[in-house]
Amino acid sequence: MTAHRLAVERLSLRVGAFALSGITFTVAAGEVLVILGPSGAGKTLLLETIAGFNRPDGGRISIDGEDVTAAPPEARRIGFMVQDYALFPHLTVAQNVAFGRRFGAASADAGTVEALLERLGVKHLADREPKHLSGGEKQRVALARALAASSRLLLFDEPLAALDAHSRGQLRRDLKDFLRRASVPAVYVTHDQSEALALADTIAVMREGSLAQVGTPSAIFNTPADAAVAEFVGVETVIEGKVVAVADGVARIDVGGRFVHAAGILTPCVGASVLACIRPEDVALAASPQSRSSVRNQFPARVIATEPAGPLFKITLDCGFPLVAYVSKQSYLELDLANRGEAVASVKATAVHLIAR
């Protein structure tokens, strides 16, 4: 398969009082860009404009270098995944997958309908009606349907939003597996931060019709571009790392020379890329290392900044990686954090939440 690439340049569109403006990003083949933003930010409008349902007022959209700004949706060869995946209820699974075929959009490299059903593990469902499928099966059939039409870009508009938390997690993992192996760029719209962290190679934070920040998940969460992004994504520390060892259910994660230990429900395999997430209220600060402590993670840190945050104080630390802690007023005064340049941060291994990448 040829590698595909999406480029959006200075896209603008006015709809009533709302406007998309100055939207620029690129997504490479196999890359997942998550557009993260609160509802009303214009995420769906942007996605539907990329799909071709709205003609932008300005800017350019190109796929594989081909300008598609003025092309209708049926000429763009885009897989469009909406909530609950919108399988055609009057057609069987096989007919759903074959739907795009009759319009000449399919090229030889897409493979036969049967081969696609096989590849996605839903061949046994070929003659079923969509209403009898589980959420995971629907997702696979929708992906097969998009591939059968030779889609060179996949767009996702909160496809998992209607599901319960358990199925959502499962489908997210399935989807991530699929997207990692797919050779098409993907744009995924969501308001859910954990979804963004789980799926994104790159996150674009969207607010009031424009992109406030585009960057890696750790860049977005640890170094938000402005107060509004910070407020939306929260203050959770997100660190990229690689699992170097797993023993007794505790994973040792290399985060650029430092090591973080995580014990949780998810025990990843050695070599896996993960995001380690630490909530600021789970970080404790001390003046010196606690030698008899059972806490696995102890990081000598430089104090970068302190600021009051409600009844607590928010302390920004540099441990070789960025870390944010909330401490009580009492600790703040005892440790004299206002004047002290250094402290030891400790985090229980069970408080480190891992997201597989």
Partner 1 sequence: MSAGIIAAPRAAQPPRGLALAFAFAAALLLVFIVLPLANLYASQSGAALARVAAMAEVRSAIGLSLAAALATTACAALLAIPLAYLLARSAFPGKPVVEAIVDLPLAVPHTVVGIALLFVFGRTGIVGAPLEQWTGIKFWGTAAGIVVAMLYVSVPYAVNAARVGLEGVDDRLEKVARTLGAGRWAVFFRITLPLASRGILTGLALTFARSVSEFGAVIVLTYYPMTAPVKIYDLFLQSGLGDSSAMAALFLAITLSLFIASRYLFRERREPGPTPAR
Binding interface with partner 1 (CB under 8 A): 48, 51-53, 72-74, 76-80, 82-84, 86, 88-90, 99-100, 103-105, 131-132, 145-146, 149, 151, 155, 162
Please, what is the Cα angle at 304 between 299 and 307, to 5 degrees? 110
Which residues share a beta bridge with 237?
278
Question: With the C-alpha atoms ordered 240, 315, 352, 175, is the resulting torsion angle positive or negative?
Answer: negative
Q: Which of residues 78 and 233 has its CB atom nearest to partner 1 in the complex?
A: 78
Q: Which residues does 332 contact at the CB level (< 8 Å), separation at least 6?
A: 306, 313, 315, 338
The candidate with the shortest Cα–Cα distance to 191, out of 236, 234, 241, is 234
Q: Which of residues 54 and 216 has its CB atom nearest to partner 1 in the complex?
A: 54
Q: Which of residues 98 and 262 has its CB atom nearest to partner 1 in the complex?
A: 98
Smallest separation (angstroms) from partner 1 to the CB of 12: 22
Q: Which of residues 131 and 292 has its CB atom nearest to partner 1 in the complex?
A: 131
Smallest separation (angstroms) from partner 1 to the CB of 147: 11
Is residue 35 within 8 A of residue 201, CB to CB? The reply is no
Smallest separation (angstroms) from partner 1 to the CB of 75: 8
Smallest separation (angstroms) from partner 1 to the CB of 301: 47
Beta strands in 64-167 (DSSP E): 66-67, 79-81, 154-157
Smallest separation (angstroms) from partner 1 to the CB of 193: 23
Smallest separation (angstroms) from partner 1 to the CB of 32: 18
Tell me the two tokens of residue 350. Answer: 């069970």
The candidate with the shortest Cα–Cα distance to 199, out of 36, 6, 15, is 36
Q: Which of residues 159 and 209 has its CB atom nearest to partner 1 in the complex?
A: 159
Q: Which of residues 104 and 271 has its CB atom nearest to partner 1 in the complex?
A: 104
Is residue 30 within 8 A of residue 182, CB to CB? The reply is yes
CA–CA separation, 292 and 287 (whole Å): 14
Q: How distant, in Å, are the alpha carbons of 115, 177, 257 from that of 199?
A: 26, 10, 25
Q: Which of residues 56 and 241 has its CB atom nearest to partner 1 in the complex?
A: 56
Please, what is the Cα angle at 79 between 77 and 81, to 5 degrees? 155
Smallest separation (angstroms) from partner 1 to the CB of 69: 16
